[in-house]
A = this chain, B = another copy of it.
Amino acid sequence: MKVVKFGGSSLASGAQVEKVYHIIAADPERKIVVVSAPGKRYSDDIKVTDLLIGCAEKYLKGQDAHQLVEAILSRYESIAQELHLSNEVIRKISDDLLTLLSGDKSNPASFIEAVKASGEDNNAKLIAAALKHKGLDAHYVSPKEAGLLVSNDPGNARVLSQSYERLYELRNRPGITVFPGFFGYNTNGDVVTFSRSGSDITGSILANGVKAELYENFTDVDAVHAVNPNIVHHPKEIRELTYREMRELSYGGFSVFHDEALIPAFRAGIPVNVKNTNNPEAPGTRIVSARKNTDGPVVGIASDDKFCSIYVGKYLMNREIGFGRKILLILEEFGLSFEHIPSGIDDMTVIVRQNQMEEKVEKKIMQRIMADLDADEVRVEHDLALIMLVGEGMRQKVGTMARASRALADAKINIEMINQGSSETSMMFSVKEAVERKAVQALYHEFFAEVRV
């Protein structure tokens, strides 16, 4: 049994859904289908989820939203028309959406959650109808009915472990189950969504729940690339990488596959195959527990910007037990999570994502550290990029750091920071944002020279 997930662009039009049908029909093991909401048909298009968020906000403010509602429904309608579906499913979707929008708004956050999630939910109904119309024995199943329980963190839900046992029952359903991605239900029965692009997470949870042999994740690229194609033209495609490598790459700015979505599949040891709806013949990228290292120490290079560093210096800091902990406590009180903590003898630097710190907060944090810890110096540096070299083979291979740092030096790039050693599959370099592209290109050239364009 395979769990197959289709992203928004794979479901944006009737023509796309046609491709989805052929993919599902081609393999009887593809028994569980997880769908996103209809995505963009062209680059200026608006995703249904974004329309829904706008719509929910207007409803909450008591503003007229009929144009948005029409825009949303017309997306489903145009797909249904393209595929010559009966009106029945569109009527159902329309009724469900209008009922939802005119329903209880006493908890605005909860209302927005439910409206947001309806994009996937209604699309699952539509896709089930489309597959049925094409002759497949497909059925919509709601996450509530299936027992997908999640924590009550709107926009950031986590699956509750008791879900897995219930989800196992999906195995016993006849035909093809079409399941909406992106959300589950809290123990009160309210909709709670995962983070954006969370349909990947649903697919992974279901793959774990039913103990699938494979989790196929269909998107609109042939494979995961070794580096961001906006930085290096036509980069190498990755055939196979480990869960750990994929997790490090997605953390470092790779958006092909959702950062957290790997965990449930990893826990159950289920391989993930990232494939292209528009080119299903391409082998795609397989994410597995272990792989043979045949092609160099580095499998991919990820980079992300908008980091900043908080430097704290104090003489004899090293002798003060608890100093580091107190800095982290202050950040925690301001709700900040940190990325890395390089340290010297008498100083410590905490790297955080810049979007967590408004100017005011930054000032307050600096004052608190200065006052509470009697620091000699506190300063914040902005506009840093983090670059991750990722590969299981790096640790065994002496000389990877030498190659990487030589490549950066030859490109005249100053390394602001290096963090290497805790993770066995990555090395982190920090450089100024202004030289991020140049740095990634230099590293790519060093480790993937033979395929350089």
Q: Please measure, in the bound complex, the distance between the C-alpha atom of A320 and the C-alpha atom of B247, giving whole angstroms.
A: 16
Q: Please measure, in the bound complex, the distance between the C-alpha atom of A100 and the C-alpha atom of B408, giving whole angstroms.
A: 64
**Contact between chains at A343 and B341 (CB < 8 Å):** yes
Chain A binding surface SS class = mixed
Annotate A238-252 by CB proximity to B: 1 below 8 A, 0 otherwise: 000000000110010
Contacts of A349 in B (CB 8 A): 421-422
What is the size, in residues, of chain A's interface with B at 8 Å between Cβ atoms?
58
Q: Please measure, in the bound complex, the distance between the C-alpha atom of A164 and the C-alpha atom of B425, giving whole angstroms.
A: 52
Distance from A365 Cβ to chain B, minimum over Cβ atoms (Å): 14
**Contact between chains at B413 and A398 (CB < 8 Å):** yes
Q: Known: A321-B332, A343-B341, A426-B344. Is A409-B401 also a contact (CB below 8 A)?
A: yes
Whose C-beta in chain B lies nearest to the C-beta of A416? Answer: B421
Whose C-beta in chain B lies nearest to the C-beta of A267? Answer: B315
Per a CB cutoff under 8 Å, which of B329, B347, B420 touches A423? B347
Asked if A364 is at the interface (CB within 8 A of a chain B CB), the reply is: no
Distance from A423 Cβ to chain B, minimum over Cβ atoms (Å): 3
Q: Please measure, in the bound complex, the distance between the C-alpha atom of A409 and the C-alpha atom of B297, giving whole angstroms.
A: 14
Contacts of A328 in B (CB 8 A): 322, 324-325, 328
Asked if A311 is at the interface (CB within 8 A of a chain B CB), the reply is: yes
Contacts of A421 in B (CB 8 A): 342, 349, 415-419, 430
**Contact between chains at B422 and A420 (CB < 8 Å):** no
Contacts of A344 in B (CB 8 A): 248, 422-423, 425-426
Distance from A254 Cβ to chain B, minimum over Cβ atoms (Å): 12
Q: How many copies does the complex hold?
A: 2
Contacts of A320 in B (CB 8 A): 337
Asked if A405 is at the interface (CB within 8 A of a chain B CB), the reply is: yes
Contacts of A348 in B (CB 8 A): 422
**Contact between chains at B420 and A418 (CB < 8 Å):** yes
Annotate A325-343 by CB proximity to B: 1 below 8 A, 0 otherwise: 1001100100111111111
**Contact between chains at B318 and A251 (CB < 8 Å):** yes
Asked if A449 is at the interface (CB within 8 A of a chain B CB), the reply is: no
Per a CB cutoff under 8 Å, which of B324, B337, B343, B422 touches A347? B422
Q: Known: A328-B328, A406-B402, A422-B417. Is A321-B342 also a contact (CB below 8 A)?
A: no
Per a CB cutoff under 8 Å, which of B311, B324, B405 touches A401? B405
Beyond the given A251-B318, A401-B418, A402-B408, please list 5 additional residue pairs across the A-B interface where CB-CB is below 8 A: A260-B319, A339-B343, A349-B421, A399-B405, A402-B405
Distance from A319 Cβ to chain B, minimum over Cβ atoms (Å): 7
Would you list 18 pairs from A and B whose C-beta atoms are within 8 A, ordered by A residue? Answer: A247-B346, A322-B328, A322-B332, A325-B325, A343-B422, A344-B423, A345-B423, A345-B426, A347-B422, A347-B423, A349-B421, A349-B422, A398-B408, A398-B412, A399-B405, A402-B405, A402-B408, A406-B406
Asked if A451 is at the interface (CB within 8 A of a chain B CB), the reply is: no
**Contact between chains at B345 and A247 (CB < 8 Å):** yes
Q: Please measure, in the bound complex, the distance between the C-alpha atom of A399 and the C-alpha atom of B408, giving whole angstroms.
A: 8
**Within residues 395 to 453 of chain A, which ones have a CB less than 8 A from any CB in chain B?**
395, 398-399, 401-402, 405-406, 408-409, 412-423, 425-426, 430
**Contact between chains at A342 and B419 (CB < 8 Å):** yes
Asked if A98 is at the interface (CB within 8 A of a chain B CB), the reply is: no
**Contact between chains at A325 and B316 (CB < 8 Å):** no
Annotate A155-172 by CB proximity to B: 1 below 8 A, 0 otherwise: 000000000000000000
Annotate A117-155 by CB proximity to B: 1 below 8 A, 0 otherwise: 000000000000000000000000000000000000000
Whose C-beta in chain B lies nearest to the C-beta of A408? Answer: B402
Contacts of A325 in B (CB 8 A): 325, 328-329, 332
